[in-house]
Structures are given as structure tokens and as C-alpha cells.
Amino acid sequence: MSEGVVAVVLAGGDPGDRLASEAGVAAKALLPLGDRPLGAYVLQALRDSGVVGEIVYVGPTDVRLAGLYDVELPGGARLVDSLALGLGAALATPGPEDVLLLGADIPWVTGEAVARFVTAAQAATTDRGPAALVYPVVTEADARAQFPHQRRTYARLRDGRYTGGNLVLLRRSLVPALLPQIDRVFRARKNPFALAGIVGLDVLAALALGYADIPRLERRVGELLGAPVRALVTHDAALAADVDSPAHLPGTLASDLPSRPGAGG
């Protein structure tokens, strides 16, 4: 195996996914975008990044994704089941300490953006030492500038308004004991109020009133997980630009988005 982090790609398979159902595909990752499935762009970005050594793909697949991942696993009935399968495979793979966990529905991500995030996340520190879990956040200004026609949920913090990304870098050592908490946090990753609800009513109140800040949220999530946590502010809005609705698909987006087939406005 080439040197680099192990990436675990959660590719869905939820029978309640409206987009996949309407398109007649088994999972959102298989939605057509240009002449390739949605998930192919994410897998190719990981291959191109230079920082990923092995890719574990969890969910339905087809021949158009052949060669873009190293390990294929069926998705579980619940997100936590898919997480357990994917992270279990990652732990069985010898290599660097870090695991990159991400969704297969961020088709505008590039290899360069993945590399920037992983490199910065591996260097991230906290007042408790090196961060064991790093999560990207994007300012509202960056998200709106790069994806002006995509509606997102933003958290109003003391130092600005942010939306959450769709990937996490974490230490292997966190996985066995923290899988249930990781599942809860990953489910809530795009909803700042859901995240705050997990970590306490005081944080939820602070968030609602706009006087919470990133360090406070980092400390509380770190207490919940029992490990140092960092929220990494990034200018790469593609890390947060997932496909949740037909409005997020090409044809409704601005022409100056990162290049993908059919993405012109």
C-alpha cells in the first residue's frame, strides 16, 4: 500500500433517499453527473490528492467506479453500521495513524482541496496537544461566493457565520470506544443546532443567541469524545458543498463553480 491516510467513503444506500429513488439508483453516490456517477468525482479526488494511501468504499457501487477504490463493503442498515464496517476495515489496514471519513456526495471536491485539509488537519493542535479529531468549517462568505445558488445551514457564532464540511480526520485510536459518539456527531455534522444539542443546552442557548464561539464548541465536543478536537476554518467551500436536493444539481448552479461535467449554469 502506498503511504498515506486511509479514507473511508460512506456512499449511502438509504432506501429513504428521495434523490436516489427518483433517479432509479441504489444510492445517491450513483446519481449521474455528466458521464460519471456522483461518487466517482469524490473517489477520483482522493486518488489525485497524494495524501490518501487506501480507499474503503462502503455502499452500493457499479462498474463505473471500478478501480477508484481498494476495498468495497456493503452499506449497513443504519449509518452507524456503515461506519462500523468502514472504520473496522480502516483499522485492519496498517498505515498512518489518521483516518479520513467522508461522504460520497461532495462532487466538487478536488485532490488539492483534500490535500490541503489533510495536511492542515494533521498539523492542527489544541491547548491539550495535537488534535485527535479535526472537522472543517467554511465561512458563509466563502460558501456563498463559491456556491452562490446553494442554500446551506449556517451557525451564527461570535466570530462569524459558518457551515460544516462533509469529512472528518480522526486518529485510529479514537475509533473503538467512540464509534457511537462519532455516529451521532457525523449525523448532525450539517446541523449546528443538532450538534449543539448533543453537547448541552448551554451551548445550544449560546448558539441560538449568537455568543458561542469555535473554541467553546471545540472544548465541549472534546469533553464528549474524551479527546482534543479542532474545528478547522477552510476556504475550500467544496468540502461543504454536498448534494442534498435537486437544487444542488448542475443546471441550477453558477457557471464559475469548480469544473465538473455539466456544471455550467
Q: Is residue 226 part of a domain?
A: yes
Distance of alpha carbon 32 from alpha carbon 5, whole angstroms? 28
What is the band of 33 on the pLDDT scale with cuts at 50, 70, 90? confident
Q: What is the CATH number of the domain that holds 164?
A: 3.90.550.10
Task: Please provide residue 253's backbone torsions phi and psi, each rounded to the nearest 5 degrees.
Answer: -110, 160
* CA nearest to 27, candidates 62, 54, 55, 72: 62
Distance of alpha carbon 226 from alpha carbon 192, whole angstroms? 20
What is the band of 77 on the pLDDT scale with cuts at 50, 70, 90? confident
Task: Please provide residue 195's backbone torsions phi and psi, each rounded to the nearest 5 degrees.
Answer: -60, -45
SS3 state of residue 91? helix
Of 48-62, 149-163, 208-222, the range with the highest mean pLDDT is: 48-62
Share of the chain above pLDDT 70, in %: 77
Q: Is residue 262 part of a domain?
A: no
What is the band of 121 on the pLDDT scale with cuts at 50, 70, 90? very high
Of 1-5, 14-18, 214-218, 230-234, the range with the highest mean pLDDT is: 230-234
Rg (CA), the chain: 17
Residue 35 predicted with pLDDT over 70 = yes
Q: Is residue 259 part of a domain?
A: no
What is the band of 148 on the pLDDT scale with cuts at 50, 70, 90? confident
Angle (nearest 5°) at CA 82 between 76 and 84: 120
Task: Please provide residue 163's backbone torsions phi and psi, each rounded to the nearest 5 degrees.
Answer: -120, 155
Domain boundaries, position 118 = 5-248
Distance of alpha carbon 265 from alpha carbon 254, whole angstroms? 5
Residue 9 predicted with pLDDT over 90 = yes
Q: Is residue 261 part of a domain?
A: no
Residue 72 predicted with pLDDT over 70 = yes
How many domains is the chain built from?
Answer: 1
Q: Is residue 28 part of a domain?
A: yes
* CA nearest to 238, candidates 90, 123, 105: 105
- This prediction's pTM: 0.84
Give the mean pLDDT of the chain: 81
- For residue 199 the three cell numbers come to 453537547
Q: Do the bridges between strand 129-130 and strand 125-126 make them parallel or antiparallel, or are there none, so unpaired?
A: antiparallel
What is the band of 196 on the pLDDT scale with cuts at 50, 70, 90? low
Mean pLDDT of 15-26: 73
